[in-house]
Amino acid sequence: MRLSAKIKVALAITVGLVVTTAVDANAAPSFQRYVALGDSYTAGPLIPWQQASWCFRSNNNYPSWLATHLGLYSKPGGFTDVSCSSADTTNMTQSQTTPSTDIPLTSQPPQFEALRLDTDLITIGIGGNDFSVFGSLISTCPEVRSSDPAGHPCQDHYTINGIDTVKAAIKQTQLNLENVIKGARTRSPAAKIVIVGYPRLVPPSGYCPDVVPFADGDYAWTDSVARALNDAQATAARRQNATFVDAYAASLGHDACTGSAAWVSGQSTNLFRAVAYHPYQQGMEGVANLVYRALGGRTPATVAPLARDAATKAQLEQMADIVPKTLNH
């Protein structure tokens, strides 16, 4: 059967539309200026390659992977990462004190200073250090384990007059996060704002005391604290019309007890992988993919970020000596 000229043209146009649609569906979301804000779960302390910064920021953190997926990593002015280990919500508008080998302490400018009127994408991973929530857990829970290995001595430690003081503090963190979103939007009114949640540290059931030396009962409590923190982030995002990316749910099967599948480390610091209780590179890649999909992307490219502003060997040795002693989150 022979097709008429009109039918041939119609088919050609239809096929062209189908091909175009397929290409567009797989195209990277379009942004011009991306700024990443956050704490060490954003910065990536000791994940190679570390930048020459006392914020202990890695070139393989999720902002760098996301910027690479978006084609902004090497674009002049396209990508700015000011995430800093140990930052809390106050460091969005206030300077942050960080360690240094040259002088006793140095200072990082407020992270909001990186925002501009033409910033069109902002990711924010913050909140875990407010009221020292994360630092309290990873410092106190191992210390009190021996007093009741099968119980929940860490939870008991932070329960005063029947009130879970850690979860009570997280309620205030939610309000802090809402203010952060408001502040970011004021400075960059046209920006897409994404709140990035924290991956889980412990499994929903079971224990691995050699990796995470908490009492058995404190595993469930620690997991409930992580859920409360992510719920606070999600609620703040919803109330302020921002996007929330749920790294907690997505990291099921990737907690510190899962061996080679883990997105985060346990009690041991590996100078060539991650600080104790912090993300590995594979966790950062996982979170970057989550954010990319939340922005409308499909299958990101697997090209790794370049090692820009990389620390020298001498600087890395200094960082390796300082970071385990000073870092909370």
Digitized pLDDT (tens) for each residue of the chain, 329 residues in all: 444 444 343 434 344 433 333 334 456 789 999 999 999 999 999 999 888 688 999 999 999 999 999 999 999 999 999 999 999 999 999 999 987 666 567 899 999 999 999 999 999 999 999 999 999 999 999 999 999 999 999 999 999 999 999 999 999 999 999 999 999 999 999 999 999 999 999 999 999 999 999 999 999 999 999 999 999 999 999 999 999 999 999 999 999 999 999 999 999 999 889 999 999 999 999 999 999 999 999 887 777 686 666 655 566 656 666 665 555 44
User: 316-328 burial, b for 16+ CB within 10 Å, e for fewer?
Assistant: bebbeebbeeebb
pTM for the predicted model, two decimal places? 0.87
Domains defined along the chain, listed by start = 27-326 (3.40.50.1110)
Q: What 3-state DSSP class applies to 231?
A: helix
Structural element, H or E, at residue 229: helix 216-239
263 CB-near residues (< 8 Å, 6+ apart)? 199, 251, 254, 255, 279, 280, 282, 283, 286, 287
